[in-house]
Amino acid sequence: MAIEKWISGSGQGITWGNAFTGSTLNSIASGNAILSDLAISNGGALDIFADLSINLASAAFVAPNFIGVYLYPANDTSAYGDGRFGTSAAGPPPSNYSVGSIGLVAATQTQTGVLSRIVLPPGTFKFVLWNQGGVALAASGNTCLYRTYNRSVA
């Protein structure tokens, strides 16, 4: 009988690393999306899955209360995905780039959440987050991390 298990990825691996740099997610207006300023290379590692974790500083979140998560692969030029959201701009991103969403609580508090088992493309990509928290993200203290892994059958 075969046994399946998760194994650490060859790229980022199971240790959390930055998907966005420190201030990129600060003050993003509700309804706006932002492209990560960090390109993630999966050309050599060829990891299959990623988890994305958000930690948002306290704000007065209201409906629709979620963060949309998108994955923009590198094009054959220097652009990613549809080339939008290099700076915070009104969303949503196109649905063909959607990988899921992270729910938020409609309350004034810090928010955390994880989106698991995102299927990764080979090559280079960037994440895009779409703020649907009903309020601008706090002016500081927002982070987004990722980790990579694969499946093994023994």
Neighbours of 135 (CB within 10 A): 15
Residue 97 has pLDDT above 80, yes or no: yes
Would you say 65 and 104 are in contact if contact means Cβ atoms under 8 Å apart?
yes
Which pTM value belongs to this model?
Answer: 0.94
Residue 1 has pLDDT above 80, yes or no: no
Closest C-alpha to 70, from 103, 42, 36, 98:
98
76 is written with which tokens?
A: 């054959």
Domains and CATH numbers, the chain: 7-153 (2.60.120)
Query: Tens digits of per-residue pLDDT, 11-70?
Result: 999 999 999 998 999 999 999 999 999 999 999 999 999 999 999 999 999 988 999 999
Residue 108: per-residue pLDDT: 95
Query: Tens digits of per-residue pLDDT, 127-150?
Result: 999 999 999 999 999 999 999 999
The full DSSP string for 110-154 is EEEEEEEEEEPPSEEEEEEEEEESSSPPPSS--EEEEEEEEEEE-
**If you count them, how many residues does the chain have?**
154
Query: Rounded to whole angstroms, how far apart are CA atoms 123 and 52?
Result: 18
Residue 154 has pLDDT above 90, yes or no: no
